[in-house]
Amino acid sequence: MFPLLIISYDLFRKNLASLQSVCELLICDEGHRLKCSQGNKTIDSLSSLRCNRRIVLTGTPVQNDLEEFWALCNFVNPGCLGNLSSFRCIFASPILASREPSAAEDIKDLGLSRAAELSRVAESFILRRLSSTLSQYLPDKTESVVFCHLSENQRESYIKEAKSGVARLGESYSLGNVLSIIASLRRLCVQPHISEEIDTQSARKFTMDEATNSSKMQFLRLFVSRLTSTTNDRLVIVSNFTRNLDLCELVLDAQSIPYCRLDGSTPVQARTTMVETFNSSRTWTAFLLSSRAGGVGLNLIGANRLILLDPDWNPAIDKYEG
C-alpha cells in the first residue's frame, strides 16, 4: 500500500471503484475543474471518496460568478455557506444587486455587509497567496497595451460583416446569433477576412500576403524581428482562435524563427513533453498557445515575454494567463 497517489481527474473517475479505502488527505490541483455549482462527474466522484480532509488549489476562485466560489467552498468545507439556494438568497443576490449602477443606497449597504460577512466566513478556511508574495524573487513585470488600427482590408471586411450580422438579426434574433456575430467581429480584429468554412481544418490556409494585411500581424512581425535580433528573450503567443495561430505561424516561418504550437489538436500525451522541452532547452524561441487548450494549468517558465493576441470575453482568463 503506497502512502501517496498522484492521479489525474479522468483516471480517478475511471478507477473510483478500486479507490474507496479511507484516505487522510485529498489535494485537488487546478480547482477550476470543481467550480460547477450544479455538480459534475468529477465532483461527484471526488465527493464519494471517504476522506478526512480536502484541499483545493486554484488561481481563479471566482471566474464567472459567486456560485463557482460556493461550489469550491462547499467541496472543501461542506455546508459552511449553506445550500446553494440559501447562498443565492443571503450572499449572491444582494452582492450582485449592490453592484448595479442604479442600486439605491440601502441596497449598496446591504451588499457591502453581505460581502464582508462572506469574506469573514471564507477567511476561516481559505489561505490566499498573492503574486506579490513572489515579487521579491522575480524581475519586475511590465505590461503594455498596444492599439493596432485595422488595415484597410480588415476595415472593409469588418463593416461588411457588421452589416451582414445586423441583417441576420433582423431575420432571426437570438442570443446565440448575437454572440456568433460578435465572435466573427473579434476574429476580424486579427484576421484579414473570415473563412466561409465552419470547420477550421478544411478552411483555406492564409497566405503571407494576407498576413501582411493584418495590422496585428504587422506589429508581431516587427516586434519579433526586433526581439530576436537584439535579445535572447523567448515568448509565448496566446490566442482564443486557432486561425489566428495560423497567421502567427506564417510570420514566424518568414523569419525562420523556431516555434512550437499547442492547441486542441495536440495529443494530450505530447503536451507535457512539449512544455518540458520548451522550459528546459532553447529548441524553440516562441510557443504558440490556444487559450482554450492550454490557457490554464501550464507553467511556461522558459519564456519571459507574453503576447495576448486577442482579449478574452472574461478578463479573469487574461489575468490568469498573464
Left, alpha or beta for 227 (phi > 0: left; psi -120 to 50: alpha)? alpha
pLDDT in the model for residue 250: 93
- Average pLDDT of each block of 10 consecutive residues along the chain (322 residues)? 81 82 83 79 85 85 82 90 93 93 92 94 86 74 89 90 87 83 88 59 71 90 93 92 91 94 87 90 92 71 90 64 52
- Same fold? 9-128, 152-321: yes
Indicate the CATH number for domain 9-128: 3.40.50.10810
User: Which strand (E) or helix (H) includes residue 89?
Assistant: none
CA 148, 192, 296, 231 torsion-angle sign: negative
Domain ranges of the chain: 9-128, 152-321
pTM of the model: 0.68
- Give the pairing type, strands 51-56 and 23-28: parallel
Q: Are 309 and 190 in contact (CB under 8 A)?
A: yes
**Which DSSP string corresponds to 239-306?**
ES-HHHHHHHHHHHHHTT--EEEESTTS-HHHHHHHHHHHHHS-S-SEEEEEHHHHSSS---TT-SEE
261, with CB counted inside 10 A (0-12, 13-18, 19+), is buried
Question: Which of 212, 159, 167 has the alpha carbon at shortest distance from 188?
Answer: 159
Fold of the CATH domain 152-321:
Rossmann fold (3.40.50)
